[in-house]
Structure 1
Amino acid sequence: MKNLSVWIKAIALFLICLTFSSTDKKVYSLLEQAAAGVIGSILGGITAGIAVIFGILAIINKGETSTNFTSYLESLESDLKLLILCLAATIFLPYLRNYDIPLISYPEHDLIPSKAKLFTAAEIFAVVVSLNLIIEVISCMILVVKQSLKSKSL
Structure 2
Amino acid sequence: MKSLKIGILLFLSLAINTFAQSPAEQEIKKLSMDKWQWMEDKDISKLKPLFHPQAKFVHMSGTWTTARELEIIETGSIWYKKADVKDTAIEIVGNTAIVWNRITLTANVRGSDVVTEFTVTEVYQKEGAAWKMLALTFSSVRDTHQIEK
Q: Same fold (TM over 0.5)?
A: no
Q: TM-score, normalised by structure 1?
A: 0.25
Which protein has greater RCO, CA pairs closer than 8 Å, 6+ apart? 1
User: Is the helix fraction higher in 1 or 2?
Assistant: 1
